[in-house]
Structure 1
Amino acid sequence: MTTLHAPTYYAATANPSPDRPALNTDVEIDICIIGAGYTGLSTGLFLAENGFKVAIVEAAKIGFGATGRNGGQIVNSYSRDIDTIEKQVGVDGAKVFGQMAFEGNRIIRERIAKYNIDCDLKNGGVFAAFTSKQMGHLEHQKKLWARHGHNEVELLDKNQLRDIVNTDIYVGGSIDHSGGHFHSLNLALGEAAAFESLGGVIYEQSPVTSIERGAQPIVRTAKGSVKARIVVVAGNAYLGGIVPELAAKSMPCGSQVVTTEQLPDDMAKSLLPKGYCVEDCNYLLDYYRLTGDNRLLFGGGVIYGARDPANVEAIIRPKLEKTFPQLKGVKIDFAWTGNFLLTLSRLPQVGILGDHQNIFYSQGCSGHGITYTHLAGKVLSEAIMGQRDRFNAFAKLPHYPFPGGRLFRVPFTAAGAVYYSLRDRFGL
């Protein structure tokens, strides 16, 4: 396994951060967290703030996985919205999800302010519609979110959107004024430093080989172990096979991202005059924004089964140039792929493993993880401290296996994606 950060824009422009030691001894502590991505860091920071002694064991580097490779956009709610949850648990049962749907956003902003994290935070997030049907969805979303107390969404017609996104490919859109974007890896590094300032310990380059379950579980690596009262599994798409029952109900998928060369100020401002981030409304959506140093970061596409494509730029450049023809031939300085963990329901999977009620997990953000993972950290920490109402709400959501099992989950899901992408293309 490669244990250095992927060759991303984020890694190349990360704030200085020390290397953390590998775990090479036997340790005993209150809580051990597996994975130093947003889920693990958020959980660890909440617990450390409440006086727990916590160690995070990371296979590679802080933010190695999706945390350090994503689009950097603050998008509220979940990969499937509150109305989908209502269909599963009823209107009353979904109220708690509505209350939590905008909390991850607030947690991110509170962390940045409280710990003075330098991560190029900018406000404003746009949803862009290609068709009148997609505009109908945005109108529905505005009403749905307002019903759950979120009143910061504004609908935009074609001309209003054109003032925000300098392209002619959309018919309209909406802006969530509470949305925004930031430097993904720098947020994680800042959260890690905050966690360590409160006594937390992070071990890098320490892949977990097994979890020994029991009254006091033990997390083992090649050269050491952590015995803890509580274990939190927060590996998501990079967990590997150490927890087979979690791997059986999820699938790693790859998303591709490029970042252009630095653009002149006038060119950058002409593309996105307000500096907002954008995602479109397609099933296989594209997303983009300006970085703090005037590059266009553009991502999209899904590789089911998380294979690394041979040429990321070849996948993304046509999308970028279709959106912004004025950038035809622009130099691409960075191109990478990163995996997120997909569930069949597209909703997170949360629960407890084994008979001893001491191994917690959260996984399966399904491409919508930035705000959810920060919420998950709070929900997991609450559960560990004995407040389980919100944790139990997530834990009661059904976990479905992919039809055909692990062997057929990739072709099954890819076939479904082709169907929905054709619907997007023809406006159905």
Structure 2
Amino acid sequence: MSLKERIEQHIGTLEQFTATPGCGTTRLTYSQEDLQARNYIKEQMKSSGLTVTEDGFGNIFGKLEGTLPDAPSVMIGSHFDSVPNGGAYDGPAGVVAALEVANIFQKQGLKPKYPLEIVALVEEEGSRFGGGLMGSRGITGVLTDTDFTSLKDKDGISTVEAMQKIGLDPSLPKGRNAETIKAFLELHIEQGPILEEKDIPIGIVDSIVGLAQYEVTVKGQAGHAGTTPMNRRADALVAAANIISQLPELAVKEGDGTVLTVGRLHTYPNGANVIPDKVVFTVDLRSGKEEHVQNVISKMKACIDASQTAGIEIVAQEQLYIQPKSLNENIRTLLEKKSKETNAAYCSINSGAGHDSMIFSDVTDVGMLFIPSRAGLSHCPEEWSDSRHIAKATEIFFEAAKQLTETE
């Protein structure tokens, strides 16, 4: 079976592990679909001769030991969770590429000096527990054990309870010393139109956008929809709608590629004839320049403060804040060299989406490749990327990993 065919088989199998068959991929962290996917990933790691372990966050590691004792690993991987009704390639494409790098090492009988370590990361999207990038933040110590155990999903189920339900052990070691990671490589679909429009199969990522995520809770007073006069109401939904209607313009006025999204909204008690007493919504803010992120946060908070009227209480809680990140110049140069050697057309590109690579870049040398997304679509069932491009990126990563696991 060719590399392209193996990749298609992996993607096709992982695509089946969804809570919404026929309506895209819905694979939330610590769900039954997560368990199915992780069992498949672990089987593939073992078939390539890797030693498989999991940590206290549920991240999956497959390690090919090197000849140097206690040497740091060259790590390759991505995430395997999804947004609700998302696509089959966002995350899994990078995991599959990493698995196939390990498979090539095994087929060629390579024994590296530095260990090769394949990683499949949890909760990058933040779809279940909020914040996002949980697996990489946990590994690097940005997310503490206390913060992790306090996280709950919308149904009040904690991370620990959810892990235990599918047989994972949250008491396992969690963070790891940065000195155990020599480099981190990640393949991801672009999730935008640039590579496809340029007809270029490989994008070498220069930098990753900065982002902030907030959860805003608006509290009012419930009441009867028919008997409560309009001038006596503390309607949480009206207050929330007033804030939400103003937020997009803050990003527009900031300009320079700044974007803002209100992505999730819950209304309580959610009755047709009940005045809402609580609304919870999320705000996702991104920009390539930190000053723009800070400016919009300040204006958002001013908007919230101005909406605090009689009977209305509003709290904005920061769930995630990450500065814009430039990726390692030496790794970028190596990826350019290997792209040329494998006859892959490439260009430099910046990422408008957040990725686990931005977390790892604080503790180790990071390189990232993008492949084209058809029509620039992502986070939807129509998401698709060409397996030929995944195969080419896998070849580049194999050559890069082969050099990184042999040189100081």
Q: TM bucket by the smaller chain?
A: 0.3 to 0.5
TM-score scaled to structure 1, two decimals?
0.31
TM-score scaled to structure 2, two decimals?
0.32
Highest Rg: 1 or 2? Answer: 2
